[in-house]
Chains A and B, each alone.
Chain A
Amino acid sequence: MGVTCVSQIPVAEGKSVQQTVEMLTRKLELLGAEKQGTFCVDCETYHTATTTMGNPAQPGKLMYVMHSSEYPLSCFALFENGPCLITDTNFDVLMMKLKGFFQNAKANKIESRGTRYQFCDFLVKIGTVTMGPSARGISVEVEYCPCVVANDCWNLMMEFMQSFMGSHTPGIPSVFGSKHDSVYSPADTMIQYMELLNKIRKQQQVSSTGMR
C-alpha cells in the first residue's frame, strides 16, 4: 500500500474512448510497464428516502458505496465531504436491509474497469469509466508503492505521470492537502475515485441535459 493519485484524462480529439485508452497503454508498455491483469472500481449511489425524518436539514444527502478489486474483501461507504467507513463485504447485505431508508439509485451506478500495470515501484491503472452501457471517460490511477506519506512522494509521482500523461498531468489531489504528513490510507484513494466518478457523472448529466 502506497500513495495514490487518481485523475482523469480527456478523450483525445477525434478519437474514441477506446482508442485513447489504447494510446495510453501503448505509451506505458513502451516505458516498460508490465501488464498485471485487470482491475475494477465501482460506485453505487444511495439517497436517503425522502420520507426519512432523521435529518431534515439535509434532505438530499447522497451516500456512496464503493468496491475496489484491489481490496477484494472491503467495502467503502462514503459521504461527499464526509467520513469514509471501511467495512467488510457484509455491508452490502446491510444496505439491502436498509432498503426502506436508503434507496439504491441503480441508474447512477458507475464503474471504472481496465488494466493494471506495474512499472518498478509504480502501479498504474487505466480504466474506462462506464455508466450504464456507454463509456464516459478515462480514469488514471497511479500508485507509488514504497511510500505512505503523500507529501513526501508527490513530486516524484508527478514526474512519473508527466512521462506518459504529458500535459494532462493532474495537480495535487485535494485529499493530499488535508493529510499533511500523516499516513495515506486506501480510503483516500476511494475518496478520489468517488470525486472523479461524481465529476464524470455530473458532466454527463450536464451534457445530456444540454443536448435536449
Chain B
Amino acid sequence: MSGGPAVRISIESASEKQVQEVGLDGAETYLQPLSMSQNLARLAQRIDFSQGSGSEDEGSVAREQDWAEEDEEEEEASVKFQPSLWPWDSVRNNLRSALTEMCVLYDVLTIVKDKRYMTLDPVSQEPLPPKQNPKILQLVSKKKSLAGAADILLKGAERLSKSVAENQENKRQRDFNSELLRLRQHWKLRKVGDKILGDLSYRSAGSLFPHHGMFEVIKNTDIDLDKKIPEDYCPLDVQIPSDLEGSAYIKVSIQKQAPDIGDLGTINLFKPLPKSKPGAPHWQIKLEAAQNVLLCKEIFSQLSREAVQIKSQIPHIVVKNQIISQPFPGLQLSISFCHSSNDKKYQKPSEKQSAENHLYVLEHNLHQLIREFHKQTLSSSMMPHPASAPFGPKRMRLAGPQAFDKNEINSLQQSEGLLEKIIKQAKHIFLRRRTARTIDSLASRIEDPQIQAHWSNINDVYESSVKVLITSQGYEQICKSIQLQLNIGVEQIRVVHRDGRVITLSHQEQELQDFLLSQMSQHQVHAVQQLAKVMGWHVLSFSNHMGLGPVESIGNASAITVASPSGDYSISVRNGPESGSKVMVQFPRSQCKDLPKSDVFQDNKWNQLRGPFKEVQWNKMEGRNFVYKMELLMAALTPCS
C-alpha cells in the first residue's frame, strides 16, 4: 500500500447485528440479533455436511483436512448439540469461526487487490456526536442564549436612542422647513446647487440698482445638544452680503452757511442704536435692515449720479458720502448717506446741532420718491396690446402711428430726477419755515395791529398755504379788511388778497416782511373806515396809496378822512408803514377862537365851515390800541344829543 492512493480501509469487528440492507446512501439497516433458539436453528441450517467447497484454491491438503475435520465437528455439533460434550468444544468453535473469518478476509482482500470485480469505496458514516461533557455543553449553551438576548436588548436600545435622536433632528429639520416656508412667504428664494439663495433687492419692484442683493439661507441646526437651547434660537439663519450689514439712513439737512471744505464728506453721524439683544437677531429683522441699507445705497447712488449729470448754475458737489447743493444763495442743502456696520465703533455724534437739523420729512420723501421711481419703471414696461406687440411703453408705441411731433415726444422722455425733486421739496420746506418765522417775528414785535396766521394742515410737497389775518384787538368783528392767503411754492410766494388781487413775492425774506408791514399799516386805515361806519361817521376820502407827504421807504402811506355825523368835525388819518400814524382833527370854524376873522366870511353861515386841522398827540391818547383810541376820539367829537 505504498504507491496507491491513500484509501482508508476501516476494519471492524464483525458486527453482532446483521445487515439487512444497505441503503443507496450506504446506510445499513441491521437485523435484530437472533435469539438463542433462532441462532441455533440458523446455525443448524448452515451446516453443509456434504462439503461442497472443492474450488479454486490450490489449498493445501492440510486445509482439506481441516475442512474435513471441521465438517465432522459441525456434524457432531449439529447432531448432538449437546453443549459441553467436549471440553474444548467452545474453543474449537471459536477457532473455526475465526478461521472462517480469516478465509473470508483473505478472499475479500484478494478480490479487492485484483480490482477486477470490486473496488472499495469509503462508506459515508454518520459522524459520532462529539463526546462532551454535558455540563460544559449546558454552560456554553446558556451563555450563548444569554448573549443573544443581550444582543437583542442592545440593538433595541440602540434603535430607541437613534429614533429619539432622529426625532429631535427631525423636529429641528421640521422647524427649519417651517421657517423656510415662512421665509419663502416673504422673500424670493431659489436653490442654486446645494445652497438656498434669496433675493432682497428691490429689483422685482422695479429697481434698476445693479447690486445683486443676494443672501444665503443657512441651516443653523448643529448646535450643541447638551447646552440649553437659547430662547431665541432659530434653526434658520441668513447670511447677508457684508456691504449690506449694519444700519443706514439718509440724512438731509439745510444749513445756513457753507462749512469748511475740509469737513465735507466726513459726516458720520449716528444716533446710538438701541442696544440690540444679545444673540443673533431674527432673520426677518436682519433682512429688513439689509434691505433698508440697500435702498439707502440706491437712493444715494441715484442722487449722486444726478448731481453729476444735472447742470445747474451752482454745481452740486458730491464728496464721498455727501451731496451738497445750494437751493438758495447762502443756503446749503446737504444729503448724506450714513452707514454703520455693526462691528465698527460708533462715532460719537460730533455735531449736535446738525443732528437736530435732520429733515425727517425729506428723508421720508426720498424713500417715497425712489419707490415712485421703481413703480414708474415697472409700469412703463406695460404689457403690450395686442399680445404680439413688443414690450415698451404704450405712449412710445403710439408715437409712430399717431404721428407725435417733437414736443409730444419730448414730453414722453422728460422726467424729473430724484435730486431735482428733493431740491425743490427742500426749497419749499425752507421757504415755508422762513415764512412762518417772518410772520411770527412780526407778530411778536408788533402788537398793534395783531397778526394771525392759520396754517393749513394738508399740504402738497411743493405747495402749502397760510391764511394771514390782520386784526385789532377787541375789534376783530368789525375790522376784517385784511385777509391774505399766502401760497408758498418752491421759489416764490403768491399772495392772494381778499378781493382777488394776486401779488407774487420772491423767496427773499425782506419782501414778505415789507409787504406785511405795509398791509398792517393799511389795516389801521381800513379799521378807521370800518369804525366810522359803526360810529355813524362819514367817510370823506380814502386812499390806500397816498401820493402826498413824505415818501415811505416801504410801500405807501394810506390815508382816510372821516366826518362826524353832524359834519362839524372831521378826522384825517395818515398811516405809513415806516412813518407811523398821524391823526389830525378838524374843528368847526366856530370853535376856533384863534382864527383870524376873515373879511371874506361875513355871513354867519360860514362859521359852519370847518377850520384848520390840528394834530392829535396820538401817543398821549388813552386806549390800548389804535382803533380803541380812534373810537374814543370819535366818541369825544360826537356831541351828546
The reply on B56 being an interface residue by CB < 8 A is: no
Could you give 24 example pairs across A and B, Cβ below 8 Å?
A: A1-B403, A70-B406, A71-B405, A72-B406, A73-B400, A73-B409, A74-B400, A74-B403, A74-B404, A75-B400, A76-B403, A86-B400, A86-B402, A86-B403, A87-B400, A88-B397, A88-B399, A88-B400, A88-B401, A89-B400, A90-B400, A185-B403, A186-B403, A187-B403
Kindly identify which residue among A1, A70, A72, A86 contacts B401, using a CB–CB cutoff of 8 Å: A86
- Measured between beta carbons, the chain B residues less than 8 angstroms from A187 are 403
Candidate in B402, B404, B405 with the most chain A CB atoms within 10 angstroms: B405
**A187–B400 Cα gap in the complex (Å)?**
12
A-contact bits for B414-450, CB 8 A (1 contact / 0 none) = 0000000000000000000000000000000000000
Contact (Cβ within 8 A) B406 A87: no
Look across to chain A and name the residue whose beta carbon is closest to the beta carbon of B412: A73
Closest CB of chain B to A66's CB: distance in Å? 11
Contact (Cβ within 8 A) A1 B405: yes
Q: A72-B409, A76-B403, A87-B401 are in contact. List 15 more A-B contacts (CB 8 A).
A: A1-B403, A70-B406, A71-B403, A73-B400, A73-B409, A74-B402, A74-B403, A75-B400, A86-B401, A88-B397, A88-B401, A89-B400, A90-B400, A185-B403, A186-B403
Kindly identify which residue among A73, A76, A87, A89 contacts B404, using a CB–CB cutoff of 8 Å: A73
- Measured between beta carbons, the chain B residues less than 8 angstroms from A73 are 399-400, 404, 409
**A185–B397 Cα gap in the complex (Å)?**
18
By size class, the interface of chain B is 10 to 19
Chain B residues near A (Cβ < 8 Å): 397, 399-406, 409
Contact (Cβ within 8 A) A70 B400: no
**A89–B403 Cα gap in the complex (Å)?**
11
Look across to chain B and name the residue whose beta carbon is closest to the beta carbon of A74: B403
**A74–B401 Cα gap in the complex (Å)?**
6
- Measured between beta carbons, the chain B residues less than 8 angstroms from A89 are 400
Candidate in A70, A72, A87, A90 with the most chain B CB atoms within 10 angstroms: A72
Closest CB of chain A to B18's CB: distance in Å? 117
**A187–B404 Cα gap in the complex (Å)?**
11
- Measured between beta carbons, the chain A residues less than 8 angstroms from B402 are 74, 86
**A186–B399 Cα gap in the complex (Å)?**
12
CB contact list, A62-88 vs B, under 8 A: 70-76, 86-88
- Measured between beta carbons, the chain A residues less than 8 angstroms from B401 are 74, 86-88
Q: What 4 A-B pairs have minimum CB-CB distances, sorted nearest first? A: A88-B400, A186-B403, A71-B403, A73-B399
**A62–B397 Cα gap in the complex (Å)?**
28
- Measured between beta carbons, the chain A residues less than 8 angstroms from B400 are 73-75, 86-90
**A155–B405 Cα gap in the complex (Å)?**
25
- Measured between beta carbons, the chain A residues less than 8 angstroms from B405 are 1, 70-71, 186
CB contact list, A185-204 vs B, under 8 A: 185-187
- Measured between beta carbons, the chain B residues less than 8 angstroms from A76 are 403
Look across to chain A and name the residue whose beta carbon is closest to the beta carbon of B408: A1
Look across to chain B and name the residue whose beta carbon is closest to the beta carbon of A68: B403
**A89–B401 Cα gap in the complex (Å)?**
9
Candidate in A71, A73, A88, A187 with the most chain B CB atoms within 10 angstroms: A73
Contact (Cβ within 8 A) B399 A74: yes
- Measured between beta carbons, the chain A residues less than 8 angstroms from B403 are 1, 71, 74, 76, 86, 185-187
**A185–B402 Cα gap in the complex (Å)?**
9
**A86–B398 Cα gap in the complex (Å)?**
10
B-contact bits for A103-134, CB 8 A (1 contact / 0 none) = 00000000000000000000000000000000
Closest CB of chain B to A64's CB: distance in Å? 16
**A87–B399 Cα gap in the complex (Å)?**
9
**A153–B2 Cα gap in the complex (Å)?**
146
Closest CB of chain B to A104's CB: distance in Å? 21
**A73–B405 Cα gap in the complex (Å)?**
8
**A75–B399 Cα gap in the complex (Å)?**
11
B-contact bits for A33-76, CB 8 A (1 contact / 0 none) = 00000000000000000000000000000000000001111111
- Measured between beta carbons, the chain B residues less than 8 angstroms from A70 are 405-406
Closest CB of chain B to A86's CB: distance in Å? 5
**A99–B625 Cα gap in the complex (Å)?**
93
Closest CB of chain B to A13's CB: distance in Å? 36
**A151–B232 Cα gap in the complex (Å)?**
81
- Measured between beta carbons, the chain A residues less than 8 angstroms from B399 are 73-74, 88
**A89–B406 Cα gap in the complex (Å)?**
15
- Measured between beta carbons, the chain B residues less than 8 angstroms from A71 are 403-405
- Measured between beta carbons, the chain B residues less than 8 angstroms from A185 are 403
Closest CB of chain A to B391's CB: distance in Å? 14
- Measured between beta carbons, the chain A residues less than 8 angstroms from B409 are 72-73
**A86–B403 Cα gap in the complex (Å)?**
7
Closest CB of chain B to A28's CB: distance in Å? 20
**A196–B289 Cα gap in the complex (Å)?**
68
**A34–B399 Cα gap in the complex (Å)?**
27
Look across to chain A and name the residue whose beta carbon is closest to the beta carbon of B397: A88
**A172–B451 Cα gap in the complex (Å)?**
65
**A1–B403 Cα gap in the complex (Å)?**
10
Closest CB of chain A to B385's CB: distance in Å? 15
**A203–B400 Cα gap in the complex (Å)?**
32
**A210–B502 Cα gap in the complex (Å)?**
71
- Measured between beta carbons, the chain A residues less than 8 angstroms from B397 are 88
Look across to chain B and name the residue whose beta carbon is closest to the beta carbon of A69: B406
Look across to chain B and name the residue whose beta carbon is closest to the beta carbon of A123: B405
- Measured between beta carbons, the chain B residues less than 8 angstroms from A90 are 400
**A86–B401 Cα gap in the complex (Å)?**
5
Candidate in B403, B404, B405 with the most chain A CB atoms within 10 angstroms: B403
**A52–B406 Cα gap in the complex (Å)?**
39
**A71–B400 Cα gap in the complex (Å)?**
8
- Measured between beta carbons, the chain B residues less than 8 angstroms from A87 are 400-401
- Measured between beta carbons, the chain B residues less than 8 angstroms from A88 are 397, 399-401
**A71–B403 Cα gap in the complex (Å)?**
5
Closest CB of chain A to B400's CB: distance in Å? 3
Look across to chain A and name the residue whose beta carbon is closest to the beta carbon of B403: A186
**A72–B405 Cα gap in the complex (Å)?**
7
Look across to chain B and name the residue whose beta carbon is closest to the beta carbon of A85: B401
Look across to chain B and name the residue whose beta carbon is closest to the beta carbon of A1: B405
**A40–B406 Cα gap in the complex (Å)?**
13
